Amino acid sequence: MHSKTLTYKDPKRYQWPLALLVPMLFVVGPHDSTTWVLLLALGIVGGLGQVAMTFSLRFAPVSVLAPVDYAALIWAAGFGYLMFDAVPTPWTWVGAPVIVVSGLYIVWRERRLAKAASIGVID
């Protein structure tokens, strides 16, 4: 039987974002109804996207879904450029392939190890 150990996390470490809300009340003005609708839609679509990605893990192995998750880097860079005219920095061009290649290598290695274990051969 496997049991999980719950660890205590100090609530103070989560309170600092709330401290930012107080100054924000004096700096940011009230939103109009269009902004509230857009914020609500953004929250709903983002939440549903996260639930869909998590739910997809029931139907396909991570090795199949990992490229979809890594495609988010490409989409983020593309939308950043198109919507905000933000050109990715050179460090983005260096770091993104490192992240993608590392993740895909881990997926490839785990798939290879699982296949070897299923036929009884382990390196």
More confident residue, 60 or 45: 45
Helix boundaries (H) for 13-89: 16-27, 33-56, 62-84
Residues 6 or more apart whose CB falls under 8 angstroms from that of 21 comprise none
Per-residue confidence (pLDDT) for residue 40, from 0 to 100:
95
Cα–Cα dist 123/119, whole Å: 12
Per-residue confidence (pLDDT) for residue 6, from 0 to 100:
53
Encode pLDDT of 4-44 as tens digits. Answer: 555 666 666 667 777 777 777 787 778 899 999 999 999 99
Identity of the residue numbered 120: G
Per-residue confidence (pLDDT) for residue 19, from 0 to 100:
76
Q: Does residue 2 surpass a pLDDT of 60?
A: no
85: left (phi over 0), alpha (psi -120 to 50) or beta: left
Cα–Cα dist 77/4, whole Å: 38
Encode pLDDT of 51-108 as tens digits. Answer: 988 888 888 887 778 777 778 888 888 899 999 999 989 998 898 888 888 888 888 8
Per-residue confidence (pLDDT) for residue 8, from 0 to 100:
61
For tokens 């070897």, the residue is: 116
